[in-house]
Amino acid sequence: MPRQPRKESQSKIYHCMLRGINQQDIFFDEKDYLEFQNIIKKTKKNYFYKVYSYVLMPNHIHLEIKDEIQKLSQIIHSIATSYANYFNKKYERKGHVFENRFKSKNVENSYYILNLLRYIHQNPVKAGIGKINEYKWSSYLEYLTYHDENQITDVEEIMPMFSQEKEQAQKEFLEFNSKTVKFQESIELLEYEMRNRLTDEELIYFIKQELGIYNIQEIQNYSVEYRNDVIRKINKIQGVSQVQIARVLGITKRMTQNACRKEKNSS
């Protein structure tokens, strides 16, 4: 099945995520983190994009970026390729470093921009590997220094969203980032999509959140055409098998196969 083109964000802002292949670590020492930061700085100059927030975790990366020239795939490809070349040479290995295709979601309003920023900054806390104000490999500390020409993050575009006054903006920034993300589950959908395999519970969560179907068993009673359409949408989720779809929906494997086969024949 051919890949679907990414939907262009009206705001030109995206939440991007790169994960190590097979969920393997991609950073082993401080030099690795520094190299990735330098690569972001270089690609910013080449592609003229802006970074609103980021975090480098041991086996994955979150980026909140504004892509003014709408070359998102080229930007992420350049970052991933540059780091993979560095990584493979350093650790004397060959092959992929990242999963083949990065994930992205459009960020269309200021509410999402700020909550995503907070979610990204809270990743080390959530993973239990560091405090938000002590973790070196995120944009959080750059927001505290503000207007440092050597930093990655374009904080001057975000801080006025808290206050036009610098000191007040930093105070509100600190307070805002200390609170729980209000729609964390929605943002985490992107992380679930990056996994090689989803649990049944995660698949059910997807069906409810993405498709708005809250009574899963009712799918059995849908018309054949509508049920097949639902099955095909679920089948596009990365990390889901047709056997799992049949099990979760309470239908036969043949019904799932027939629905997916019809889409293939029509494409």
Structure confidence at residue 43 (pLDDT): 97
- Domain map of the chain by residue range? 13-177, 197-266
Any idea which fold 13-177 has?
Answer: Alpha-Beta Plaits (3.30.70)
pLDDT of 197: 65
pLDDT of residue 2: 41
Low-confidence ranges of the chain (pLDDT < 50): 1-3
Nearest to 27 by CA among 55, 61, 54, 58: 58
pTM of the model: 0.72
Output the pLDDT for position 20: 93
pLDDT at site 192 = 59
pLDDT for res 76: 95
- Count of beta carbons in the 10 Å neighbourhood of residue 255: 18
Per-residue confidence (pLDDT) for residue 218, from 0 to 100: 87
Q: What pLDDT was estimated at residue 1?
A: 38
Q: 10-44: buried (b, 16+ CB within 10 Å) or exposed (e) per residue?
A: eebbbbbbbbbeeeeebbeeeebbebbbebbeebb
